[in-house]
C-alpha cells in the first residue's frame, strides 16, 4: 500500500493543489467539468507538465517518466487497445514491465474480474460493462502503487454502473490499492469514497468524509456544487449565546449553531430538511410553512423546490415517502430545518487536507 502526497501542484488547470491520499483509501475527487480533476490525475501519472511535487510513500517522483511511475490509470474512454484481445490487453502492462508469471497473473485477474470467458475476444465485441472490467483489469495488472480512475462509470447505464461501483469497491478492498477516483456524480462519491475532495476552477476547495463535505460545505463554491442552492444569505445575525445565533434569511428567522461572530451565509443539505403535510408538533423554532413550487423526480429520490417567504429551499425525500404524501406544485407543506445540520459558511473557505 502506498500514500500519495501532492504539494503545491500548479499548471494550466491546477492552482496550488495540496492533497494527501492515505494508504489504501479511495479518495473521490468531485467537481464540475473543467475543474481540473482529470488534469490532476494526469499530473500524478506524469503525462503532463506541472510545477510542484508528487510523492509516493514520501519519495518525490517528479523526475520519473510516466512509464516508470507504476501508476494504474483507467481513462474515461477506457482506451482499450482495439488490436489486442482481452487477454493481451490485460497482459500488456505485465509484458512491458517484464513481470514474471504473466500467464498465471492474467488468468487470475480475468477470474477476479469475472471475464475469464472473454479472454480471446476483442474489445470491439464487448459490451460496455465488459469493456469496463477489462480496462480495470488492465490497469491493476502490473500491481500499481496507486490507481487513478477517471469517471469510470460515465458510459454505463444506471443499473450497470451501480453494480460496477460495488465491483470496484470489492476489488479495491481486496487489493488494498490506494485509489483516486474522479467523478461528478454525488451517488458515486457517497457510495465509493472514504474521503471526498471537491475541486473548483483548479483549486481544491475541501477534503473530508462524505458526511462532512455533503453536510458542511466549506464555502459557497462547494455548497453550490454539491447541492441545490440551499445557500442562504443572512441579512441580520444576532448571537443568542450557548453556541446559537439567530439569523434572518429572506425574511425567515433561523436559529443556527455557531460559536463565531457574525454569520453571513448558511447552507443546509436537502437531505436534512424534514417535510410534512401536517403542522409538526413542538416549538416553532426553525419551522416554516411553504408551498411546493417544483418537483424533480430521479431514480431513488425526489427533490422539491419549496417557497418560504421570499426564499426557495430544496428538500430531498426518498421516492416512496413522496408518493405517500402525494406532493405536487402548489401544495402547502411544513418544513423543519434540522438544527445540527445547518452549516455556517465562512468567508475564505476551509480545506481539511
Report the nearest approach of other proteins to the CB of residue 108 (Å).
18
Contacting range for other proteins; rule: CB under 8 A; set: 70-78, 182-190, 215-223, 320-328: 70-78
Tell whether residue 62 is a contact of other proteins (CB under 8 A).
no
What dihedral do alpha carbons 219, 223, 225, 229 form, nearest 10°?
-140
Question: 137 or 351, CB closer to other proteins?
Answer: 137
**Distance of alpha carbon 208 from alpha carbon 352, whole angstroms:** 6
Tell whether residue 47 is a contact of other proteins (CB under 8 A).
yes
Contacting range for other proteins; rule: CB under 8 A; set: 68-76, 169-177, 198-206, 279-287: 68-76
Report the nearest approach of other proteins to the CB of residue 69 (Å).
7
Residues near 283 by beta carbon (within 8 Å), at least 6 away in sequence: none
| Maximum alpha-carbon separation in the chain | 71
Contacting range for other proteins; rule: CB under 8 A; set: 41-49, 155-163, 172-180, 257-265: 41-49
**Distance of alpha carbon 91 from alpha carbon 87, whole angstroms:** 6
State the SS3 of 260-288: CCCCCEEEECHHHEEEECCCCCCCCCCEE
Among 7, 20, 22, 97, binds other proteins (CB under 8 A): 97
Among 13, 14, 17, 71, binds other proteins (CB under 8 A): 71
Tell whether residue 274 is a contact of other proteins (CB under 8 A).
no
Question: 38 or 302, CB closer to other proteins?
Answer: 38
**Distance of alpha carbon 1 from alpha carbon 33, whole angstroms:** 30
Contact flags string 102-141 toward other proteins, x per CB under 8 A: --------------------xxx-------------x---
The alpha carbons of the chain give a radius of gyration, in whole angstroms, of 24
**Distance of alpha carbon 161 from alpha carbon 164, whole angstroms:** 5
Size of the site for other proteins (CB under 8 A): 28
**Distance of alpha carbon 267 from alpha carbon 345, whole angstroms:** 7
Contacts with other proteins by CB under 8 A lie at 42, 45-47, 65-73, 75, 77, 79, 81-83, 92-93, 96-97, 122-124, 138, 142
Amino acid at each position: 500500500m502506498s500514500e500519495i502526497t501532492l504539494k503545491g501542484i500548479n499548471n494550466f488547470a491546477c492552482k496550488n493543489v495540496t492533497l494527501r491520499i492515505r494508504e489504501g483509501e479511495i479518495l473521490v475527487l468531485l467537481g464540475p467539468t473543467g475543474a481540473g480533476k482529470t488534469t490532476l490525475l494526469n499530473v500524478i501519472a506524469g503525462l503532463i507538465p506541472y510545477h510542484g511535487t508528487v510523492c509516493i510513500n514520501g519519495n518525490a517522483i517528479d523526475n520519473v517518466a510516466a512509464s516508470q511511475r507504476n501508476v494504474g490509470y483507467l481513462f474515461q474512454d477506457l482506451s482499450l487497445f482495439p488490436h489486442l484481445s482481452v487477454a493481451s490487453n490485460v497482459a500488456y502492462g505485465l509484458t512491458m514491465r517484464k513481470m514474471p508469471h504473466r500467464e498465471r497473473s492474467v488468468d487470475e485477474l480475468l477470474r477476479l474480474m469475472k471475464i475469464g470467458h472473454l479472454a480471446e475476444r476483442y474489445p470491439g465485441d464487448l459490451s460496455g460493462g465488459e469493456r469496463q472490467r477489462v480496462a480495470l483489469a488492465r490497469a491493476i495488472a502490473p500491481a500499481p502503487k496507486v490507481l487513478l480512475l477517471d469517471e469510470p462509470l460515465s458510459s454505463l447505464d444506471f443499473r450497470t454502473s451501480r453494480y460496477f461501483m460495488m465491483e470496484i469497491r470489492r476489488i479495491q478492498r481486496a487489493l488494498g490499492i490506494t485509489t483516486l477516483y474522479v467523478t461528478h456524480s454525488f451517488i458515486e462519491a457517497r457510495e465509493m469514497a472514504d474521503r471526498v475532495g471537491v475541486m473548483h476552477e483548479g483549486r481544491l476547495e475541501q477534503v473530508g468524509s462524505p458526511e462532512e463535505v455533503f453536510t458542511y460545505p466549506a464555502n459557497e463554491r462547494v455548497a453550490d456544487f454539491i447541492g441545490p442552492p440551499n445557500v442562504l444569505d443572512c441579512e441580520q445575525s444576532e448571537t443568542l449565546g450557548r453556541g446559537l445565533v439567530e439569523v434572518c434569511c429572506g425574511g425567515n428567522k433561523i436559529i443556527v449553531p455557531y460559536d463565531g461572530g457574525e454569520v453571513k451565509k448558511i447552507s443546509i443539505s436537502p437531505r436534512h430538511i424534514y417535510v410534512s403535510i401536517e403542522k409538526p408538533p413542538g416549538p416553532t423554532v426553525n419551522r416554516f410553512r411553504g408551498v411546493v413550487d417544483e418537483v424533480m423526480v430521479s431514480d431513488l429520490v425526489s427533490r422539491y423546490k419549496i417557497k418560504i417567504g421570499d426564499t426557495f429551499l430544496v428538500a430531498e425525500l426518498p421516492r416512496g415517502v413522496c408518493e405517500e404524501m402525494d406532493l405536487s406544485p402548489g401544495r402547502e407543506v411544513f418544513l423543519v430545518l434540522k438544527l445540527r445540520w445547518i452549516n455556517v459558511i465562512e468567508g475564505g473557505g476551509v480545506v481539511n487536507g
